[in-house]
């Protein structure tokens, strides 16, 4: 059995990751987190804002903030096609914290779907960047 699989994480702006990985963990709409390893059964799912982790051979992890899209597993390949995505090293943490604060403030006054979505995006960015919820 193969110990790695091919993984591609693509957004309209760029290819964020393309290469081999031992495992991918992401979050699907209504299904929670799901992990894919080599030999996984075929799968197609819609993604929500989340902190996706791509576990590379050698023990490193590529952390990516994914903002919607789809994940497909076919053969020994995982493809994540995202509406928008960011590699953790490129996330402006202070900007993401400010966005989280603005969204939380809006939500204190009324439920607003746009503010809830902004909060989910900010939390995904911060999680991928390694910032805890209280930081």
Residue 47: helix, strand or coil by DSSP? strand
Instruction: State the pLDDT at residue 32.
Output: 87
Mean pLDDT of the chain: 91
Instruction: State the pLDDT at residue 128.
Output: 87
Name, in order, each residue with C-beta under 8 angstroms of 127's C-beta and a sequence gap of 6 or more.
50, 51, 65
Each residue of 69-88: b (16+ CB within 10 Å) or e? bebebeeeebbbbbeebbbb
Going along the chain from its start, the domains and CATH numbers come out as 5-88 (2.60.15.10), 91-128 (no CATH)
Tell me if 36 sits within 8 A of 51, measured CB to CB.
no
Q: What is the pLDDT of residues 102-120, one digit of tens each?
A: 999 988 888 888 888 888 8
What is the rounded distance in angstroms from the CA atom of residue 5 to the CA atom of residue 21? 5
Name, in order, each residue with C-beta under 8 angstroms of 92's C-beta and a sequence gap of 6 or more.
none
pLDDT bucket at 133, cuts 50 / 70 / 90 = low
Q: What is the pLDDT of residues 45-91, one digit of tens each?
A: 999 999 999 999 999 999 999 999 999 999 899 999 998 999 999 98
């Amino acid at each position: 059995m193969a110990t790695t699989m091919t993984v591609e994480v693509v957004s309209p702006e760029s290819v964020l990751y393309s290469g081999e990985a031992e495992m991918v963990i992401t979050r699907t709409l209504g299904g929670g987190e799901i992990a894919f390893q080599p030999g996984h059964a075929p799968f197609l799912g819609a993604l929500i804002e989340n902190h996706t982790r791509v576990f590379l051979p050698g023990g490193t992890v590529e952390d990516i903030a994914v903002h919607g899209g789809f994940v497909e597993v076919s053969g020994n390949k995982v493809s994540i096609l995202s509406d928008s995505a960011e590699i953790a090293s490129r996330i402006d943490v202070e900007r993401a914290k400010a966005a989280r604060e603005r969204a939380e403030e809006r939500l204190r006054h009324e439920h607003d779907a746009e503010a809830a979505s902004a909060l989910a995006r900010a939390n995904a960015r911060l999680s991928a960047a390694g910032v805890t919820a209280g930081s």
